[in-house]
Amino acid sequence: MTAETVLREKIATCTRIFAMQQMIGLFGHISAFDPATGRIYMCPGMGVQKATVADGDVLALDLEGQVLDGDARIPAEWPIHTVLHGKRKDALAVAHLHAPAATLFSLVDRAFRPVTLQGCIFADGVPLYDQPRLVRTVEQGRELAGVIGDGRAALMRGHGIVVVGRDVEEMLLGALILEDEVRKWAEASSLGTVRPFSEAEARSFDAASDFQRRSHRCWDYFCEIEQRWDRQPGTGRAGFA
Amino acid sequence: MTAETVLREKIATCTRIFAMQQMIGLFGHISAFDPATGRIYMCPGMGVQKATVADGDVLALDLEGQVLDGDARIPAEWPIHTVLHGKRKDALAVAHLHAPAATLFSLVDRAFRPVTLQGCIFADGVPLYDQPRLVRTVEQGRELAGVIGDGRAALMRGHGIVVVGRDVEEMLLGALILEDEVRKWAEASSLGTVRPFSEAEARSFDAASDFQRRSHRCWDYFCEIEQRWDRQPGTGRAGFA
Amino acid sequence: MTAETVLREKIATCTRIFAMQQMIGLFGHISAFDPATGRIYMCPGMGVQKATVADGDVLALDLEGQVLDGDARIPAEWPIHTVLHGKRKDALAVAHLHAPAATLFSLVDRAFRPVTLQGCIFADGVPLYDQPRLVRTVEQGRELAGVIGDGRAALMRGHGIVVVGRDVEEMLLGALILEDEVRKWAEASSLGTVRPFSEAEARSFDAASDFQRRSHRCWDYFCEIEQRWDRQPGTGRAGFA
Amino acid sequence: MTAETVLREKIATCTRIFAMQQMIGLFGHISAFDPATGRIYMCPGMGVQKATVADGDVLALDLEGQVLDGDARIPAEWPIHTVLHGKRKDALAVAHLHAPAATLFSLVDRAFRPVTLQGCIFADGVPLYDQPRLVRTVEQGRELAGVIGDGRAALMRGHGIVVVGRDVEEMLLGALILEDEVRKWAEASSLGTVRPFSEAEARSFDAASDFQRRSHRCWDYFCEIEQRWDRQPGTGRAGFA
């Protein structure tokens, strides 16, 4: 298979997995970058059925956001993807999601910290892009990319999240973990004061060293579940942990 | 198709979508108004299966609440609809829902404010109709309409919500957003102090200018999902965001 | 149909509806009383599949708890039912449920009050049976019945609820409302301070006067949904409001 | 049937039940010990589809963690199992789960106490293994086993839980109860101050005396539900209480 075939298939599959997990819905979009050709592969934008996206629905763009191939709607916030793919060699996959749990941390006056061992891939925390607007221009995309820095993710105030990975598998697992961290913090806080891991604790666990291997196992696991999913609106969302 | 055919179909479809989203249940009802004929098209009342309502089940009323066509039960709170359709040219679609999340804001001593960018269509907040009773008379309907003023929605204490739109599509998206705002506020509040958007922030985002276009895309998206729904009681409620 | 046939069918159907709503599970049980014959009809006890209970699985008991007919396991807490049926002419149907939401109010140091208009059928509140034990003797049953008095329901500390009705339909709707009230209070409390209805407000709404009529519509509504339920473990729980 | 056949079947069935209840997901694993042969039967590790595990997928290990039979991946945290089976004659079944509710208590600064009558099997509370790391060595397994002592369970900080039983049935019910306790505490806490049972109250209820009998009924109940489960990702999780 060519790189293009592989990336189209991964983006389509990952889109359906996020749909199953109810993390992408009406508004989210994801992409992967092929550095050899400078092409970005991206799922279609607002209103498209994410649960049934096929390889052929995936758009190809260049780094300026010009659609090279495909006639689906390009997401209005394409600069999130183009700027990150252009700027970071280790951000070959990018997700922008209005994830129902992870987004919650963008609404409050507290900084995200990991609360589980898995969450320690976010040992530095997750910064907040605080602008109350969409990211529709390259300038705005740069501002967002500046907030992310060389991190794995950012929260976007009252809006959603961005997660990057070295490949689609890492991007998927990173997003699943962030979603799970915030859900757990929100639910646990009624039991007592939540004790997130300190930066030193999180670093000493060294979740990052094993992350790529784990992300590939997680990918296989969710691909199998996605294949047996019957596409009913409420029968998705497999338990993660 | 005649306007009547279109409106009957839209009301039936929107009723089934709300049923799928578990926002209409036993007690809710929705309507659309045809200003050319002065007729209101309304879904049947308490106890009817909202998940399987068909075009032919939709009732036709006049602005005095007289049933012109159809033999299903008229909702006991029909004056909610007749007064709003009669009073506001921009309220061609009206929903009264006991929506599980949005209703929660009617139980507490705090005023609703939007917390997401999408929620900024409610830049002015959502007023509370504070009377502890149903709306079964025209007089009560006027009182409620007075609370709504020229806004998009009102909360009804210990009861539910009213949402209006310039068409059924706007009414659907407005209700989905209100539901999502309240769910997010409730869930986020355990993470820290929620920072709703100020009126100035909400206005500057100008969500309203793009609202009708977005509501039509959202409509198409949920219509597709509703068509594949298997009508099992717990398999509805597609993720919104 | 004889009264026995009717009551067996109603108890079996109501058991399946509660199973669909995930309110009866492993441990709950319900009953109806025929004053003409002094017979109680009760669903089988712990471990029986509530989702598929049929009319023929329903047990017949007398007011002393002697099984007259049927070979299923009698619930260990049968005195809850026998004492209430023997004592109150208006408690012809009794449910004991470990309902996931309603039970929560039995864990905390606050008294239940209604928060919605529908909840005003509980205008007097719902008393707490505070004993940390099961109700396995007639003596304990009397103690519990004393707590309920002439009310519609009681909470049982760290255990569950008891709801009574003049018929199975009232018992079903009463339990659905109590479940919904507590769920709403729990979820709304993170938005602000919950404002329950005062006893005067609740009484002035006079929910009780229309309750029997509404309970019969609700019954028909849930019977239809139950008939189309596919019995998958997680596809039940139709939205109530 | 041989003990081996029975234990393989029980481990496979229990794994699928936990998958249905969304308590085992990507990362959990369970085991049973046959003291006559010194063999441990364990479900496969990370990434295997727990919802469809069959008897033949179950691994056989010795008490040193050597795989004797089976070619699936052994869970990385196998010492949790080997140490407990080797040390305690009454821990013939062991579960390590990242259970979504029970894990929450490992994130906060408060000690677990039972809140329901059923939860009184944990009359002594549930201790916390506070190390921010996985249990991948025998040494770490001993440390964890030291925390559990002769109890039924332990919480693992930011990670999950361990539950033991005299047989697979007890281990299942113990885990279901712990999950339910924490869910209830978390949800009830927004209604008021939760009143857990004191050690004296919990002991006087004497839940333990009837526990084995109840666990076997619960086992049969969940086995039946698991058999009719359609394996859709979101259709599992039968109501427990």
Q: What is the mean pLDDT of chain C?
A: 96
CATH number at D111 reads 3.40.225.10
Q: Locate tokens 């990052």: which residue?
A: A208
Query: Are the beta carbons of A88 and A150 closer than 8 angstroms?
Result: yes
**What residues does B160 pair with on adjacent strands?**
B156
Whether residue D221 has pLDDT greater than 80:
yes
Q: Write the pLDDT tens digit of every residue in C177-186.
A: 999 999 999 9
Taking the complete model, does pTM exceed 0.95, yes or no? yes
Mean per-residue pLDDT, D39-60: 95
Q: Is D108 close to A191, i.e. CB distance below 8 A?
A: yes
Q: What is the pLDDT of residue A240?
A: 79
Q: Is B188 close to A108, i.e. CB distance below 8 A?
A: yes
Tell me whether residue B169 is in a domain: yes
**What residues does D32 pair with on adjacent strands?**
D41, D93
Tally of structural domains, chain A? 1
Q: What is the pLDDT of residue A71?
A: 82
Whether residue B1 has pLDDT greater than 80:
no
Beginning with the edge strand found earlier in the chain, give each strand of the sheet holding D128-129 in spatial order.
D67-69, D59-61, D39-42, D29-34, D93-97, D160-165, D153-156, D128-129
CA dist., res. D225 & res. D221, Å (int): 7
- How does residue B73 score in pLDDT terms, banded at 50, 70 and 90? confident
What is the torsional sign of CA C197, A187, A29, A52?
negative
What residues in D contact C57, CB-CB < 8 Å?
A: none
Q: Is A233 close to B228, i.e. CB distance below 8 A?
A: yes
Q: What is the mean pLDDT of chain B?
A: 96
Tell me whether residue A146 is in a domain: yes
Nearest C-alpha in C relative to D219: C47
Mean per-residue pLDDT, A49-65: 96
Nearest C-alpha in A relative to B218: A47
A47 in contact with B at a CB cutoff of 8 Å?
yes
C234 in contact with D at a CB cutoff of 8 Å?
yes
Q: Locate tokens 């109860």: which residue?
A: D177
Q: Write the pLDDT tens digit of every residue in D134-158.
A: 999 999 999 999 999 999 999 999 9
C-alpha gyration radius of chain C: 17
DSSP designation for C231: -
Mean per-residue pLDDT, A15-37: 96
ipTM given for this complex: 0.96
Query: Are the beta carbons of C52 and C227 closer than 8 angstroms?
Result: no
Whether residue C44 has pLDDT greater than 90:
yes
CA dist., res. D107 & res. D99, Å (int): 13
What does each C-alpha distance from B161 to A104, B48, B102 come to in angstroms? 23, 20, 7
3-state secondary structure of B16: helix
3-state secondary structure of A88: coil
Q: What is the pLDDT of residue C236?
A: 86
Q: What is the pLDDT of residue C224?
A: 97
What residues in B contact C214, CB-CB < 8 Å?
A: 46
Q: What is the pLDDT of residue D138?
A: 98
Query: Are the beta carbons of A108 and B193 closer than 8 angstroms?
Result: yes
Mean per-residue pLDDT, C75-101: 97
Contacts of B171 (CB under 8 A, 6+ apart): B14, B30, B93, B94, B95, B163, B164, B165
DSSP designation for C75: P
Tell me whether residue C195 is in a domain: yes
Q: What is the pLDDT of residue B207?
A: 79
What does each C-alpha distance from C174 to A175, A232, C100, C169 come to in angstroms? 42, 31, 15, 8
Closest CA to B182 of B113, B97, B236: B113
- Greater confidence (D37 vs A69) lies with D37
Query: Are the beta carbons of C62 and C34 closer than 8 angstroms?
Result: no
Q: Write the pLDDT tens digit of every residue in D97-120.
A: 999 999 999 999 999 999 999 999
Q: Which of C187, C205, C224 sits opposite B104 (nearest CB)?
A: C187
Q: Is B117 close to A134, i.e. CB distance below 8 A?
A: yes
A159 in contact with B at a CB cutoff of 8 Å?
yes
Q: Is B187 close to C190, i.e. CB distance below 8 A?
A: yes
The CA distance from B36 to the nearest CA of chain A, in Å, is 31
B132 in contact with C at a CB cutoff of 8 Å?
yes
Q: Is A46 close to B217, i.e. CB distance below 8 A?
A: yes
Q: Is A188 close to D185, i.e. CB distance below 8 A?
A: no
Closest CA to A222 of A236, A234, A235: A236
Say what percent of chain A tops pLDDT 70: 100
Q: What is the pLDDT of residue D206?
A: 81
Neighbouring subunits of C (3+ Cβ pairs under 8 A): B, D
Range of the domain at C114: 3-225
Q: Which of C115, C230, C239 sits opposite B107 (nearest CB)?
A: C115
Tell me whether residue D233 is in a domain: no
Contacts of C209 (CB under 8 A, 6+ apart): none
Tell me whether residue C174 is in a domain: yes
Tell me whether residue B82 is in a domain: yes
- How does residue C4 score in pLDDT terms, banded at 50, 70 and 90? very high
Tell me whether residue B25 is in a domain: yes
Tell me whether residue D239 is in a domain: no
CA dist., res. B17 & res. B35, Å (int): 25
CA dist., res. C133 & res. C140, Å (int): 9
Q: Write the pLDDT tens digit of every residue in B76-91.
A: 999 999 999 999 999 9
What is the torsional sign of CA B129, B133, B136, B140?
negative
D213 in contact with A at a CB cutoff of 8 Å?
no
- First-residue to last-residue Cα distance in chain A: 33
